[in-house]
Amino acid sequence: AALLPRPARGLTDRLYCGRRVCYEVLGVSRQASKAEIARAYRQLARQYHPDRYRGEPAGGEGSGAQAAHEKFLLIAAAYETLKDEETRKDYDYMLDHPEEYYRHYYHYYSRRLAPKVDVTIVILVTVCAISVFQFFSWWSSYNEAINYLASVPKYRIQATEIARQQGLLNKTKEKGKNRRSKEEIREEEEEIIKDIIKNKIDIKGGYQKPKIYDILLFQILLAPFYWCKYIVWYCWWIYCFTIKGQEYGVEEKLYIIRRYMKMSQSQFDSLEDHQKETFLERQLWIRENYEVYKREQEEELKKKMAMDPRWKRYRRWMKNEGPGRLTFIDD
């Protein structure tokens, strides 16, 4: 029924000024300027505003405070329609083409329900908020990694030895007027050890040191540059290895292996060097070799799971008890 043509009904109660013409409500012509419309609105608003009404007859619409209030709402609706150029243009089009009911209905409610705040500003503020949260979250993860490494004896002993060789720990134990408490000396030594760990250990993966251009805001701003860079790189790849038939280099082989493994660059960089050497020795950039390697890894994982006592207990529980049964077994 909604798709059937609707007969032209002209002015509608639910749109703009209803059955009344907005120009007639304000007492102006269709050629009236903004200043004339505003002047007519101010005069009528002073006359029919509920705060100014003191019981005098409200005019042609009846008498009483209720009639004055309704008249004032109609005047306000007419002014809201005609004061904006875009809304006035839609209203004039409706007066000239009353048969296009659905078009008028859509334009009227799309403007009324449109957000008052610019969507661009909302998106920008949201991206900035996410970027700030992202940056400080990364810093928190990085500091957690440093604190953990500082508590591991292996790294702590090495960092302490480097600090002694550089004479950094001797400066903390000064005498005389500059003498400090043991707690202050311990805190300063801890900071020195953490600084050495930060400089000597290259942390990769999810706990690496955050970089400002890795946050969402800079990624969006640099997206055109990355796209152009990728297109240039892809054309170079096609030209060198598809058209000219050159052999892959080490970086290209590792790139193909990483793509087969479906790992991100940071995940692949976090792997040990001997693992990457194993990948190259087994020529995993060749698809057939990688499929063999993948099956071997899956079989090895199955064997480890079969030998793991926790998985044995889980399989035994699934066989004997199973999910969804009432049991008092703790294990």
| Residue 254 counted as domain residue | yes
Of the two residues 13 and 33, the one the predictor is more confident about is: 33
Of the two residues 21 and 119, the one the predictor is more confident about is: 21
Q: Are residues 77 and 127 in the same domain?
A: no
pLDDT tens digit sequence for 285-297: 999 999 999 999 8
| Residue 324 counted as domain residue | no
Q: What is the pLDDT of residue 4?
A: 39
Are 70 and 20 spatial neighbours (Cβ–Cβ below 8 Å)?
no
| Residue 127 counted as domain residue | yes
> What's the whole-number average pLDDT of the chain?
79
| Residue 104 counted as domain residue | yes
Q: How many domains does the chain have?
A: 3
For 124-173, the three-class secondary structure string (H helix, E strand, C coil) is HHHHHHHHHHHHHHHHHHHHHHHHHHHHCHHHHHHHHHHHHHCCCCHHHC
Determine the structural domain holding residue 50 and report its residue range: 22-113
Are 90 and 107 spatial neighbours (Cβ–Cβ below 8 Å)?
yes
Identify the domain boundary among 66, 86, 113. Answer: 113
| Residue 201 counted as domain residue | yes
- Tell me the CATH number at 67: 1.10.287.110
Q: Are residues 45 and 65 in the same domain?
A: yes
Q: Are residues 131 and 66 in the same domain?
A: no
Q: Are residues 133 and 103 in the same domain?
A: no
pLDDT above 90 for 228:
yes
